[in-house]
Amino acid sequence: MPAGRKKVLIRRFSRDTIAGYLPAAGFVQDDALELLDLSGRVMPIPLSEIKMVLYVRDFNLTEKDPERTLRKTFLSKPRTEGLFIRLKLRDEDVLEGLAPLDISLMDSALEDKGIQFTPPDVRSNVQRIFVPRRAIESMDLLAVITTPSKKKPVASTSADKSLQEQLFATELPPNSRPN
């Protein structure tokens, strides 16, 4: 396993929470997640038991809601680049987030057998969420959000200018009236 480990809270379908450390990617071995718990032991947890893995700033284990998540869905369409997704989990819970718009999305799906994304509430304790494939009942792609490309100014040609000049250069008879 890689040396750089991040703080995580693992939510199981049995509603209990386990705190520990995981690398950012490559943490699944033989359909189990290898968690380094707070006592320093490596704990294998089967992916079938995991609802979600929350990468957090602080553990906050004394609080009722250690994630401090206020919203699980976006209030409006996000502006940050990425894939705007909605996941419906096995227990009917609904999550929205922004998945990466690059090859790391495929790496997460293939190596770790799930999807990682950024949650809608960036001010909460949760920085990233990993949901195993076995926990997902359905996934909807709501939007592909990209940065707008800059429009290039169109250079006018001399042919366009000559047509414009010819339009108004036509002589009118002196006794004609405009309509």
Residues in the chain: 179
Q: Please give the single-letter amino acid code of residue 47.
A: L
Please give the span between the terminal C-alpha atoms of the chain, in angstroms, as a whole number: 83
pLDDT 10s digits, 5-15: 899 999 999 88
- Give the per-residue pLDDT at 85: 92
Q: What is the C-alpha separation between 119 and 57, in angstroms, rounded?
A: 13
Average pLDDT estimate for 71-76: 73
Closest CA to 83 of 102, 96, 71, 100: 100
Where do we find the tokens 């997460």? 108
- Give the per-residue pLDDT at 159: 60
Question: What is the band of 2 on the pLDDT scale with cuts at 50, 70, 90?
Answer: very low
Max CA distance (Å), the chain? 101
Question: What is the band of 63 on the pLDDT scale with cuts at 50, 70, 90?
Answer: low
pLDDT at 101 over 50: yes
Percent of the chain with pLDDT over 70: 80
Q: Which of the two residues, 174 and 36, has the higher pLDDT score?
A: 36
Instruction: Mark out the alpha helices in 11-157 (DSSP H runs).
Output: 104-111
